[in-house]
Amino acid sequence: MSSKPPTEKLPSIFSTQDIVLDTAYQGIDNKNWKSLFRQAREANVEQFIEDLFTGKPVNNSENRPALHSALRNLDKKPVLVNGKDVMPDVVEVWRRIEGLCNKWIGVTDVIHIGIGGSDFGPRLAIEALAHVPDIDSRGMRMHFLANIDTAELNRILQRAHPNSTRVIIVSKSFTTLETTMNARAVVKWLKDNKRNDVQISQALFAVTANVPAAQEFGVAKDNIYPFWDWVGGRYSVWSAVGLPIALQYGFDTFKEFLAGAQAIDQHFKTAPLEENLPVIMALCLLYQQKKHQIKSYAVIPYADALDWFPKWLQQLDMESNGKSVGRDGMPMKYSCPVVFGSSGSNAQHSYFQLLHQGLEIIPIDFIAIREPMSHLSEAKAHHRILLSNCLAQAQALANGKKTDNPNNTYPGKRPSNLLILPKLNAFYLGALLALYENRTATLGALWNINSFDQPGVELGKVLAKPIEAALNKGEAVEANESIDAITAQRINLFINP
Ligand code: F6P
Protein backbone atom coordinates (compact mmCIF):
# COMPACT_ATOMS: atom_id res chain seq x y z
CA MET A 1 0.00 0.00 0.00
CA SER A 2 1.34 3.41 -0.90
CA SER A 3 1.69 5.95 1.81
CA LYS A 4 2.38 9.61 1.54
CA PRO A 5 2.73 12.28 4.18
CA PRO A 6 -0.23 14.53 4.90
CA THR A 7 -0.54 17.50 2.58
CA GLU A 8 -0.37 20.99 4.09
CA LYS A 9 -4.04 21.88 3.66
CA LEU A 10 -6.15 18.83 4.19
CA PRO A 11 -9.42 18.73 2.28
CA SER A 12 -12.75 17.80 3.79
CA ILE A 13 -14.15 16.23 0.63
CA PHE A 14 -12.98 12.81 -0.47
CA SER A 15 -14.24 10.54 -3.16
CA THR A 16 -13.92 7.21 -4.85
CA GLN A 17 -16.12 5.58 -7.48
CA ASP A 18 -18.17 8.82 -7.55
CA ILE A 19 -19.02 8.30 -3.90
CA VAL A 20 -18.36 11.51 -2.00
CA LEU A 21 -17.54 11.83 1.69
CA ASP A 22 -17.70 15.29 3.22
CA THR A 23 -16.24 15.52 6.70
CA ALA A 24 -16.44 19.32 7.03
CA TYR A 25 -18.85 19.23 9.97
CA GLN A 26 -16.52 17.03 12.01
CA GLY A 27 -14.70 20.17 13.09
CA ILE A 28 -11.31 18.49 12.72
CA ASP A 29 -8.56 20.97 11.90
CA ASN A 30 -5.37 20.24 9.98
CA LYS A 31 -3.32 19.73 13.12
CA ASN A 32 -5.79 17.19 14.42
CA TRP A 33 -6.01 15.40 11.08
CA LYS A 34 -2.23 15.07 11.03
CA SER A 35 -2.30 13.68 14.50
CA LEU A 36 -5.06 11.23 13.53
CA PHE A 37 -3.13 9.94 10.53
CA ARG A 38 -0.06 9.64 12.75
CA GLN A 39 -2.11 7.56 15.19
CA ALA A 40 -3.30 5.37 12.33
CA ARG A 41 0.30 4.77 11.27
CA GLU A 42 1.35 4.08 14.84
CA ALA A 43 -1.47 1.54 15.09
CA ASN A 44 -0.06 -0.12 11.95
CA VAL A 45 -3.28 0.32 10.02
CA GLU A 46 -1.43 0.01 6.70
CA GLN A 47 0.10 -3.30 7.73
CA PHE A 48 -3.28 -4.46 9.04
CA ILE A 49 -4.93 -3.75 5.66
CA GLU A 50 -2.22 -5.71 3.93
CA ASP A 51 -2.63 -8.61 6.37
CA LEU A 52 -6.41 -8.56 5.96
CA PHE A 53 -6.27 -8.91 2.19
CA THR A 54 -3.42 -11.39 2.06
CA GLY A 55 -5.06 -13.95 4.31
CA LYS A 56 -3.03 -13.46 7.50
CA PRO A 57 -4.86 -14.80 10.59
CA VAL A 58 -6.25 -11.40 11.59
CA ASN A 59 -8.89 -13.30 13.58
CA ASN A 60 -6.25 -14.21 16.13
CA SER A 61 -8.51 -15.87 18.73
CA GLU A 62 -9.69 -18.41 16.16
CA ASN A 63 -6.44 -18.33 14.20
CA ARG A 64 -8.25 -17.60 10.93
CA PRO A 65 -8.03 -15.08 8.15
CA ALA A 66 -11.02 -12.84 7.43
CA LEU A 67 -11.12 -13.09 3.67
CA HIS A 68 -14.62 -11.99 2.72
CA SER A 69 -12.80 -9.82 0.16
CA ALA A 70 -11.99 -13.02 -1.77
CA LEU A 71 -15.72 -13.54 -2.30
CA ARG A 72 -15.88 -10.33 -4.33
CA ASN A 73 -12.54 -10.81 -6.06
CA LEU A 74 -14.10 -10.89 -9.52
CA ASP A 75 -10.65 -10.78 -11.16
CA LYS A 76 -10.06 -14.24 -9.65
CA LYS A 77 -6.47 -13.33 -8.74
CA PRO A 78 -5.19 -16.07 -6.40
CA VAL A 79 -5.93 -15.61 -2.69
CA LEU A 80 -4.03 -18.03 -0.50
CA VAL A 81 -5.23 -19.62 2.73
CA ASN A 82 -2.58 -21.94 4.20
CA GLY A 83 -0.83 -21.95 0.84
CA LYS A 84 -3.98 -22.97 -1.11
CA ASP A 85 -5.70 -20.66 -3.58
CA VAL A 86 -9.33 -20.34 -2.48
CA MET A 87 -10.52 -18.74 -5.72
CA PRO A 88 -11.31 -21.97 -7.63
CA ASP A 89 -13.81 -22.92 -4.88
CA VAL A 90 -15.29 -19.40 -4.89
CA VAL A 91 -15.62 -19.43 -8.68
CA GLU A 92 -17.24 -22.87 -8.60
CA VAL A 93 -19.93 -21.54 -6.23
CA TRP A 94 -20.52 -18.58 -8.60
CA ARG A 95 -20.95 -21.09 -11.46
CA ARG A 96 -23.47 -23.07 -9.42
CA ILE A 97 -25.39 -19.94 -8.37
CA GLU A 98 -25.65 -18.85 -12.00
CA GLY A 99 -26.79 -22.35 -12.98
CA LEU A 100 -29.44 -22.31 -10.26
CA CYS A 101 -30.72 -18.92 -11.43
CA ASN A 102 -31.20 -20.35 -14.90
CA LYS A 103 -33.32 -23.23 -13.69
CA TRP A 104 -35.28 -21.35 -11.03
CA ILE A 105 -38.62 -21.53 -12.77
CA GLY A 106 -42.18 -21.42 -11.47
CA VAL A 107 -41.15 -20.36 -7.96
CA THR A 108 -43.57 -17.95 -6.27
CA ASP A 109 -42.08 -17.90 -2.75
CA VAL A 110 -38.65 -18.21 -1.22
CA ILE A 111 -38.36 -18.76 2.51
CA HIS A 112 -34.87 -17.74 3.57
CA ILE A 113 -34.18 -19.13 7.04
CA GLY A 114 -31.21 -17.70 8.90
CA ILE A 115 -30.36 -15.26 11.68
CA GLY A 116 -27.76 -12.57 12.37
CA GLY A 117 -25.20 -12.50 9.58
CA SER A 118 -27.16 -15.19 7.78
CA ASP A 119 -30.13 -12.82 7.60
CA PHE A 120 -29.27 -9.12 7.67
CA GLY A 121 -27.16 -8.90 4.51
CA PRO A 122 -29.54 -10.66 2.11
CA ARG A 123 -32.57 -9.08 3.76
CA LEU A 124 -31.10 -5.58 3.40
CA ALA A 125 -30.09 -6.23 -0.21
CA ILE A 126 -33.46 -7.66 -1.22
CA GLU A 127 -35.27 -4.76 0.44
CA ALA A 128 -32.95 -2.06 -0.91
CA LEU A 129 -32.91 -3.32 -4.49
CA ALA A 130 -36.69 -3.68 -4.49
CA HIS A 131 -36.73 0.13 -4.35
CA VAL A 132 -34.60 0.53 -7.49
CA PRO A 133 -36.83 1.75 -10.31
CA ASP A 134 -36.87 -0.56 -13.33
CA ILE A 135 -34.76 -3.25 -11.68
CA ASP A 136 -35.16 -6.56 -13.43
CA SER A 137 -36.85 -8.75 -10.82
CA ARG A 138 -38.54 -12.12 -10.83
CA GLY A 139 -41.00 -10.62 -8.39
CA MET A 140 -41.01 -13.64 -6.07
CA ARG A 141 -42.21 -13.19 -2.52
CA MET A 142 -39.01 -13.29 -0.47
CA HIS A 143 -39.73 -14.24 3.12
CA PHE A 144 -37.00 -13.86 5.72
CA LEU A 145 -37.47 -16.10 8.71
CA ALA A 146 -35.06 -15.35 11.55
CA ASN A 147 -36.92 -15.16 14.83
CA ILE A 148 -37.71 -18.27 16.84
CA ASP A 149 -40.97 -16.51 17.72
CA THR A 150 -43.58 -18.44 15.72
CA ALA A 151 -45.39 -15.20 14.93
CA GLU A 152 -42.93 -14.61 12.09
CA LEU A 153 -43.20 -18.21 10.92
CA ASN A 154 -46.97 -18.07 11.05
CA ARG A 155 -47.18 -14.90 8.98
CA ILE A 156 -44.91 -16.39 6.35
CA LEU A 157 -46.70 -19.73 6.18
CA GLN A 158 -50.01 -17.95 5.73
CA ARG A 159 -48.70 -16.18 2.65
CA ALA A 160 -46.47 -18.75 0.94
CA HIS A 161 -47.79 -21.26 -1.59
CA PRO A 162 -46.40 -24.65 -0.54
CA ASN A 163 -46.42 -26.13 -4.06
CA SER A 164 -44.21 -23.38 -5.47
CA THR A 165 -42.07 -22.47 -2.45
CA ARG A 166 -38.34 -23.02 -2.20
CA VAL A 167 -36.62 -22.99 1.19
CA ILE A 168 -33.05 -21.82 1.72
CA ILE A 169 -31.55 -22.68 5.10
CA VAL A 170 -28.62 -20.38 5.75
CA SER A 171 -26.30 -21.01 8.65
CA LYS A 172 -22.54 -20.89 8.75
CA SER A 173 -22.43 -23.33 11.66
CA PHE A 174 -25.67 -25.16 10.90
CA THR A 175 -26.07 -25.51 14.66
CA THR A 176 -27.95 -22.27 15.35
CA LEU A 177 -31.06 -23.25 17.27
CA GLU A 178 -33.39 -20.63 15.82
CA THR A 179 -32.46 -21.63 12.29
CA THR A 180 -32.62 -25.40 12.64
CA MET A 181 -35.91 -25.29 14.57
CA ASN A 182 -37.49 -22.92 12.05
CA ALA A 183 -36.21 -25.11 9.23
CA ARG A 184 -37.82 -28.18 10.79
CA ALA A 185 -41.09 -26.30 11.18
CA VAL A 186 -41.06 -25.26 7.51
CA VAL A 187 -40.31 -28.83 6.39
CA LYS A 188 -43.24 -29.98 8.51
CA TRP A 189 -45.44 -27.37 6.81
CA LEU A 190 -44.41 -28.73 3.41
CA LYS A 191 -45.30 -32.26 4.58
CA ASP A 192 -48.60 -31.09 6.05
CA ASN A 193 -49.34 -29.62 2.65
CA LYS A 194 -48.91 -32.99 0.98
CA ARG A 195 -45.49 -32.43 -0.53
CA ASN A 196 -43.82 -35.82 -0.85
CA ASP A 197 -40.21 -36.60 0.09
CA VAL A 198 -38.88 -36.05 -3.42
CA GLN A 199 -40.67 -32.72 -3.77
CA ILE A 200 -39.41 -31.60 -0.35
CA SER A 201 -35.89 -32.60 -1.20
CA GLN A 202 -36.13 -30.57 -4.43
CA ALA A 203 -37.47 -27.57 -2.53
CA LEU A 204 -34.78 -27.52 0.18
CA PHE A 205 -31.49 -25.68 -0.22
CA ALA A 206 -28.73 -24.89 2.25
CA VAL A 207 -25.89 -22.39 2.43
CA THR A 208 -23.34 -23.32 5.06
CA ALA A 209 -19.76 -23.86 6.08
CA ASN A 210 -20.86 -27.14 7.71
CA VAL A 211 -21.90 -29.26 4.74
CA PRO A 212 -22.14 -32.56 6.68
CA ALA A 213 -24.65 -31.03 9.13
CA ALA A 214 -26.79 -29.76 6.26
CA GLN A 215 -26.75 -33.21 4.68
CA GLU A 216 -27.64 -34.79 7.98
CA PHE A 217 -30.57 -32.38 8.21
CA GLY A 218 -31.82 -33.79 4.92
CA VAL A 219 -30.65 -31.32 2.30
CA ALA A 220 -29.52 -33.01 -0.91
CA LYS A 221 -25.79 -32.58 -1.56
CA ASP A 222 -26.41 -30.87 -4.90
CA ASN A 223 -28.56 -28.28 -3.15
CA ILE A 224 -25.89 -27.29 -0.65
CA TYR A 225 -23.86 -24.18 -1.40
CA PRO A 226 -20.73 -24.03 0.73
CA PHE A 227 -18.80 -21.19 2.21
CA TRP A 228 -15.78 -21.41 4.42
CA ASP A 229 -14.53 -20.80 7.95
CA TRP A 230 -12.48 -17.83 6.71
CA VAL A 231 -15.76 -15.97 6.08
CA GLY A 232 -17.24 -14.43 9.22
CA GLY A 233 -21.04 -14.75 9.49
CA ARG A 234 -21.60 -10.99 9.45
CA TYR A 235 -19.35 -10.68 6.39
CA SER A 236 -21.03 -13.51 4.49
CA VAL A 237 -23.55 -11.80 2.19
CA TRP A 238 -20.89 -11.89 -0.54
CA SER A 239 -20.91 -15.69 -0.47
CA ALA A 240 -23.84 -17.93 -1.45
CA VAL A 241 -25.57 -16.37 1.57
CA GLY A 242 -26.43 -13.68 -0.98
CA LEU A 243 -28.21 -16.28 -3.13
CA PRO A 244 -31.62 -14.53 -2.84
CA ILE A 245 -30.11 -11.48 -4.55
CA ALA A 246 -29.09 -13.58 -7.55
CA LEU A 247 -32.35 -15.50 -7.63
CA GLN A 248 -34.57 -12.44 -7.44
CA TYR A 249 -32.58 -9.94 -9.49
CA GLY A 250 -30.37 -12.15 -11.65
CA PHE A 251 -26.79 -13.34 -11.45
CA ASP A 252 -25.48 -10.26 -13.29
CA THR A 253 -27.00 -8.02 -10.61
CA PHE A 254 -25.38 -10.16 -7.91
CA LYS A 255 -22.07 -9.72 -9.69
CA GLU A 256 -22.63 -5.96 -9.83
CA PHE A 257 -23.16 -6.04 -6.07
CA LEU A 258 -19.83 -7.87 -5.69
CA ALA A 259 -18.19 -5.45 -8.14
CA GLY A 260 -19.18 -2.44 -6.04
CA ALA A 261 -17.62 -4.04 -2.97
CA GLN A 262 -14.52 -5.04 -4.90
CA ALA A 263 -14.05 -1.46 -6.11
CA ILE A 264 -14.08 -0.26 -2.50
CA ASP A 265 -11.65 -3.02 -1.47
CA GLN A 266 -9.32 -1.86 -4.21
CA HIS A 267 -9.57 1.71 -2.93
CA PHE A 268 -9.08 0.62 0.69
CA LYS A 269 -6.00 -1.41 -0.25
CA THR A 270 -4.30 1.17 -2.42
CA ALA A 271 -5.32 4.71 -1.44
CA PRO A 272 -3.00 6.54 0.94
CA LEU A 273 -4.48 6.88 4.40
CA GLU A 274 -5.10 10.58 3.77
CA GLU A 275 -7.44 9.77 0.86
CA ASN A 276 -8.81 6.47 2.09
CA LEU A 277 -12.55 6.75 2.77
CA PRO A 278 -12.95 3.85 5.22
CA VAL A 279 -9.88 5.05 7.13
CA ILE A 280 -11.07 8.65 7.21
CA MET A 281 -14.52 7.61 8.42
CA ALA A 282 -12.92 5.49 11.14
CA LEU A 283 -10.67 8.37 12.20
CA CYS A 284 -13.64 10.75 12.43
CA LEU A 285 -15.23 8.44 14.97
CA LEU A 286 -11.97 8.02 16.86
CA TYR A 287 -11.58 11.80 17.05
CA GLN A 288 -15.10 12.37 18.41
CA GLN A 289 -14.67 9.51 20.84
CA LYS A 290 -11.54 11.01 22.36
CA LYS A 291 -12.81 14.58 22.22
CA HIS A 292 -16.35 14.10 23.49
CA GLN A 293 -16.18 10.63 25.08
CA ILE A 294 -19.10 9.72 22.83
CA LYS A 295 -21.00 6.59 23.75
CA SER A 296 -23.08 6.25 20.58
CA TYR A 297 -23.32 7.37 17.00
CA ALA A 298 -26.14 7.38 14.47
CA VAL A 299 -26.40 6.49 10.82
CA ILE A 300 -29.25 8.14 8.96
CA PRO A 301 -29.71 7.20 5.33
CA TYR A 302 -32.00 9.65 3.58
CA ALA A 303 -33.37 6.81 1.48
CA ASP A 304 -36.26 4.56 2.28
CA ALA A 305 -34.41 1.80 0.43
CA LEU A 306 -31.76 1.78 3.16
CA ASP A 307 -34.06 1.49 6.16
CA TRP A 308 -32.48 -1.90 6.95
CA PHE A 309 -28.97 -0.52 6.65
CA PRO A 310 -28.61 0.60 10.30
CA LYS A 311 -29.74 -2.84 11.51
CA TRP A 312 -27.19 -4.54 9.30
CA LEU A 313 -24.59 -2.08 10.57
CA GLN A 314 -25.46 -2.74 14.19
CA GLN A 315 -24.36 -6.34 13.87
CA LEU A 316 -21.35 -5.44 11.76
CA ASP A 317 -20.06 -2.83 14.17
CA MET A 318 -21.14 -4.01 17.58
CA GLU A 319 -20.56 -7.74 17.08
CA SER A 320 -17.17 -6.95 15.56
CA ASN A 321 -15.90 -4.28 17.92
CA GLY A 322 -18.18 -4.33 20.98
CA LYS A 323 -15.45 -5.68 23.22
CA SER A 324 -13.58 -4.55 26.27
CA VAL A 325 -10.28 -6.33 25.88
CA GLY A 326 -7.85 -5.98 23.02
CA ARG A 327 -6.14 -8.59 20.87
CA ASP A 328 -3.64 -9.02 23.65
CA GLY A 329 -6.35 -9.64 26.28
CA MET A 330 -5.62 -6.33 27.96
CA PRO A 331 -8.49 -4.01 29.00
CA MET A 332 -9.15 -1.14 26.63
CA LYS A 333 -10.12 2.45 27.25
CA TYR A 334 -12.03 2.83 23.99
CA SER A 335 -14.06 0.47 21.88
CA CYS A 336 -17.22 0.42 19.82
CA PRO A 337 -19.92 2.97 20.65
CA VAL A 338 -23.56 1.99 20.32
CA VAL A 339 -24.77 2.49 16.75
CA PHE A 340 -28.37 3.19 15.89
CA GLY A 341 -30.33 4.81 13.13
CA SER A 342 -33.16 4.63 10.66
CA SER A 343 -34.11 6.31 7.44
CA GLY A 344 -34.56 10.05 7.18
CA SER A 345 -36.64 12.06 7.07
CA ASN A 346 -38.71 9.73 9.32
CA ALA A 347 -35.96 9.75 11.95
CA GLN A 348 -36.27 13.54 12.25
CA HIS A 349 -39.76 13.05 13.63
CA SER A 350 -38.49 10.71 16.30
CA TYR A 351 -35.17 10.91 18.14
CA PHE A 352 -33.72 13.98 16.43
CA GLN A 353 -34.95 16.07 19.36
CA LEU A 354 -32.27 14.37 21.45
CA LEU A 355 -29.65 14.65 18.71
CA HIS A 356 -30.20 18.43 18.63
CA GLN A 357 -30.78 19.27 22.28
CA GLY A 358 -29.97 16.20 24.36
CA LEU A 359 -27.08 16.14 26.82
CA GLU A 360 -24.99 13.72 24.80
CA ILE A 361 -23.09 14.50 21.67
CA ILE A 362 -23.93 11.81 19.12
CA PRO A 363 -22.01 12.00 15.84
CA ILE A 364 -24.01 11.17 12.73
CA ASP A 365 -23.30 9.73 9.33
CA PHE A 366 -25.83 11.19 6.92
CA ILE A 367 -26.18 9.18 3.73
CA ALA A 368 -27.82 10.76 0.70
CA ILE A 369 -28.45 9.55 -2.82
CA ARG A 370 -28.18 12.00 -5.69
CA GLU A 371 -30.96 10.56 -7.81
CA PRO A 372 -34.59 10.12 -6.79
CA MET A 373 -35.64 6.51 -6.49
CA SER A 374 -38.79 6.60 -8.54
CA HIS A 375 -40.02 7.85 -11.89
CA LEU A 376 -43.16 9.38 -10.42
CA SER A 377 -44.01 12.90 -11.52
CA GLU A 378 -43.45 13.97 -7.91
CA ALA A 379 -40.01 12.36 -7.70
CA LYS A 380 -37.85 15.45 -8.27
CA ALA A 381 -39.80 17.70 -5.94
CA HIS A 382 -39.90 15.10 -3.16
CA HIS A 383 -36.23 14.32 -3.60
CA ARG A 384 -35.31 18.00 -3.29
CA ILE A 385 -37.14 18.08 0.02
CA LEU A 386 -35.45 14.89 1.17
CA LEU A 387 -32.02 16.32 0.34
CA SER A 388 -32.75 19.73 1.85
CA ASN A 389 -33.81 18.07 5.07
CA CYS A 390 -30.63 16.04 5.14
CA LEU A 391 -28.44 19.10 4.55
CA ALA A 392 -30.42 21.27 6.96
CA GLN A 393 -30.18 18.77 9.81
CA ALA A 394 -26.41 18.63 9.51
CA GLN A 395 -26.19 22.42 9.46
CA ALA A 396 -28.50 22.82 12.45
CA LEU A 397 -26.58 20.22 14.42
CA ALA A 398 -23.25 21.84 13.64
CA ASN A 399 -24.09 25.50 14.13
CA GLY A 400 -26.89 25.39 16.64
CA LYS A 401 -28.84 28.51 17.47
CA LYS A 402 -28.66 30.85 20.42
CA THR A 403 -31.84 32.46 21.73
CA ASP A 404 -32.88 34.10 24.99
CA ASN A 405 -35.13 31.15 25.65
CA PRO A 406 -33.05 28.16 26.82
CA ASN A 407 -35.81 25.88 25.64
CA ASN A 408 -35.33 27.05 22.07
CA THR A 409 -31.55 27.10 22.16
CA TYR A 410 -29.61 24.60 20.09
CA PRO A 411 -26.10 24.06 21.44
CA GLY A 412 -24.61 23.10 18.05
CA LYS A 413 -21.08 21.69 17.64
CA ARG A 414 -22.61 18.29 16.91
CA PRO A 415 -20.43 16.55 14.35
CA SER A 416 -21.57 14.70 11.26
CA ASN A 417 -20.36 13.24 7.98
CA LEU A 418 -22.18 13.39 4.69
CA LEU A 419 -21.80 10.43 2.38
CA ILE A 420 -23.28 10.88 -1.10
CA LEU A 421 -23.95 7.94 -3.40
CA PRO A 422 -24.50 8.85 -7.06
CA LYS A 423 -27.40 6.40 -7.19
CA LEU A 424 -28.58 3.30 -5.42
CA ASN A 425 -28.20 0.16 -7.47
CA ALA A 426 -26.52 -3.19 -6.85
CA PHE A 427 -23.06 -1.72 -7.49
CA TYR A 428 -23.44 1.16 -5.05
CA LEU A 429 -25.16 -0.99 -2.46
CA GLY A 430 -22.18 -3.36 -2.57
CA ALA A 431 -19.85 -0.37 -2.36
CA LEU A 432 -21.69 1.10 0.63
CA LEU A 433 -21.57 -2.16 2.58
CA ALA A 434 -17.89 -2.71 1.83
CA LEU A 435 -17.12 0.88 2.81
CA TYR A 436 -18.57 0.27 6.25
CA GLU A 437 -17.04 -3.22 6.56
CA ASN A 438 -13.62 -1.75 5.90
CA ARG A 439 -14.32 1.14 8.25
CA THR A 440 -15.26 -1.35 11.00
CA ALA A 441 -12.07 -3.31 10.36
CA THR A 442 -10.02 -0.09 10.50
CA LEU A 443 -11.59 0.85 13.81
CA GLY A 444 -10.70 -2.61 15.09
CA ALA A 445 -7.11 -2.00 14.07
CA LEU A 446 -7.10 1.45 15.69
CA TRP A 447 -8.51 0.07 18.94
CA ASN A 448 -6.40 -3.11 18.68
CA ILE A 449 -9.52 -5.28 18.71
CA ASN A 450 -10.02 -8.58 16.93
CA SER A 451 -13.06 -7.57 14.84
CA PHE A 452 -13.72 -11.09 13.59
CA ASP A 453 -14.83 -13.16 16.58
CA GLN A 454 -17.87 -12.81 18.85
CA PRO A 455 -17.23 -14.68 22.12
CA GLY A 456 -19.71 -12.45 23.93
CA VAL A 457 -22.73 -14.12 22.34
CA GLU A 458 -22.01 -17.57 23.78
CA LEU A 459 -22.80 -17.34 27.51
CA GLY A 460 -26.47 -16.51 27.04
CA LYS A 461 -26.90 -19.41 24.63
CA VAL A 462 -25.45 -21.82 27.21
CA LEU A 463 -27.58 -20.47 30.05
CA ALA A 464 -30.75 -20.73 27.96
CA LYS A 465 -30.51 -24.53 27.89
CA PRO A 466 -31.21 -25.36 31.57
CA ILE A 467 -33.82 -22.61 31.63
CA GLU A 468 -35.58 -24.14 28.66
CA ALA A 469 -35.41 -27.55 30.38
CA ALA A 470 -37.01 -26.06 33.50
CA LEU A 471 -39.77 -24.38 31.49
CA ASN A 472 -40.36 -27.64 29.68
CA LYS A 473 -40.64 -29.54 32.97
CA GLY A 474 -43.18 -27.05 34.18
CA GLU A 475 -42.37 -27.53 37.88
CA ALA A 476 -41.30 -24.79 40.27
CA VAL A 477 -37.51 -24.46 40.37
CA GLU A 478 -35.04 -23.36 42.99
CA ALA A 479 -31.72 -21.69 42.37
CA ASN A 480 -29.01 -24.14 41.36
CA GLU A 481 -25.53 -24.04 39.83
CA SER A 482 -26.82 -22.86 36.45
CA ILE A 483 -29.91 -20.86 37.46
CA ASP A 484 -29.58 -18.03 39.98
CA ALA A 485 -32.26 -17.05 42.50
CA ILE A 486 -33.67 -14.15 40.46
CA THR A 487 -33.93 -16.22 37.30
CA ALA A 488 -35.47 -19.13 39.25
CA GLN A 489 -38.09 -16.70 40.53
CA ARG A 490 -38.72 -15.49 36.99
CA ILE A 491 -39.05 -19.04 35.65
CA ASN A 492 -41.63 -19.65 38.33
CA LEU A 493 -43.55 -16.56 37.18
CA PHE A 494 -43.95 -18.25 33.80
CA ILE A 495 -44.81 -21.63 35.28
CA ASN A 496 -47.29 -20.35 37.88
CA PRO A 497 -48.42 -16.93 36.70
O1 F6P B 1 -24.94 -15.70 17.77
C2 F6P B 1 -24.24 -14.87 16.92
C3 F6P B 1 -23.98 -15.54 15.59
O4 F6P B 1 -23.00 -16.51 15.73
C5 F6P B 1 -23.58 -14.51 14.54
O6 F6P B 1 -22.25 -14.21 14.57
C7 F6P B 1 -24.04 -15.16 13.30
O8 F6P B 1 -24.18 -14.24 12.26
C9 F6P B 1 -25.35 -15.76 13.74
O10 F6P B 1 -25.13 -16.15 15.07
C11 F6P B 1 -25.84 -16.92 12.93
O12 F6P B 1 -24.91 -17.96 12.90
P13 F6P B 1 -25.01 -19.09 11.85
O14 F6P B 1 -24.84 -18.50 10.49
O15 F6P B 1 -23.90 -20.06 12.19
O16 F6P B 1 -26.35 -19.74 11.97
Please write the tens of the pLDDT for every residue from 82-138.
999 999 999 999 999 999 999 999 999 999 999 999 999 999 999 999 999 999 999
- What is the number of the ligand 1 atom nearest to the C-alpha of 208? 14
Please report, rounded to a whole number, the percentage of residues in the chain having pLDDT higher than 90: 97
For residue 20, the model assigns a pLDDT of: 98
Q: How confident is the model at residue 11 (pLDDT cuts 50, 70, 90)?
A: confident
Position 142 pLDDT exceeds 70 = yes
CA-nearest of 416, 377, 324 to 27 is: 416
Measured in degrees and rounded to the nearest 5, phi and psi for residue 337 equal -75, 165
Active site residue 46: no
Is residue 75 helix, strand or coil?
A: coil
Structure confidence at residue 94 (pLDDT): 98
Please tell me the predicted confidence (pLDDT) of residue 3: 45
For helices 150-159 and 177-192, give the axis angle rounded to 10 degrees.
30
5: confidence class by pLDDT, cuts 50, 70, 90: very low
Model pTM score: 0.96
The interaxial angle of helices 251-270 and 277-292, nearest 10 deg, is 60
DSSP per residue over 383-410, as a string?
HHHHHHHHHHHHHHHHH-B--SSGGG-B
Are 394 and 449 a contacting pair, CB within 8 Å?
no
Q: Exposed, middle or buried by CB within 10 Å (0-12, 13-18, 19+), for 379?
A: middle
Q: Where are the strands (E) in 26-182, listed by range?
A: 80-81, 84-85, 109-113, 141-145, 165-170
Distance from Cα 173 to the centre of ligand 1, integer Å: 7
Average pLDDT of the chain?
Answer: 96
Distance (Å) from CA 118 to ligand 1 centroid: 7
Atom 1, ligand 1: which residue's CA is nearest? 457
Alpha carbon of 175 to ligand 1 centroid (Å): 9
Q: Does residue 8 have a pLDDT over 90?
A: no
Ligand 1, CB within 6 Å, residue ranges: 115-118, 171-173, 176, 179, 233-234, 319, 454, 457
Could you identify the atom of ligand 1 that is nearest to the CA of residue 457? 1
Choosing from 118, 168, 236 the residue with most ligand 1 atoms within 8 A of its CB, the one to mutate for a pocket test is 118
Least confident among 2-11, 116-125, 291-300, 306-315: 2-11
Backbone torsions φ then ψ of 332, nearest 5 degrees: -115, 155
- Worst-scoring range by mean pLDDT, 7-21, 104-118, 280-294, 458-472? 7-21
| Beta carbons of 120 and 306 less than 8 angstroms apart | no
Choose which residue among 59, 62, 68, 115 to substitute to test ligand 1 binding: the one with the highest number of ligand atoms within 8 A of its C-beta: 115
**At residue 429, does pLDDT exceed 90?**
yes
125 against 5, higher pLDDT: 125
Which is the catalytic residue, given 178, 256, 274, 319? 319
- Looking at residue 497, what is its pLDDT? 76
How many CB atoms lie under 10 A from the CB of residue 225? 22
Distance between Cα 116 and ligand 1 center (Å): 5
Provide the percentage of residues in the chain whose pLDDT is more than 70. 98
Task: Respond yes or no: is residue 292 known to be catalytic.
Answer: no
Residues 268 and 440 sit within 8 Å (Cβ to Cβ): no
**pLDDT one-digit tens code per residue, 372-418:** 999 999 999 999 999 999 999 999 999 999 999 999 999 999 999 99
Instruction: Tell me if residue 256 is catalytic.
Output: no
Average pLDDT over residues 151-168: 98
257 contacts 24 by C-beta, under 8 angstroms: no
pLDDT at 32 over 80: yes
**Which one of 8, 349, 378, 481 is the catalytic residue?**
349
Buried residues in 59-72 as b, exposed as e (16+ CB within 10 A): beeeebbbbbbbbb
* pLDDT value, residue 243: 98
Out of 147, 172, 235, 316, mutate this one to test ligand 1's pocket (max ligand atoms within 8 Å of CB): namely: 172
Question: Cβ distance 264 to 73 under 8 Å?
Answer: no
CA of 332 from ligand 1 middle (Å) equals: 25
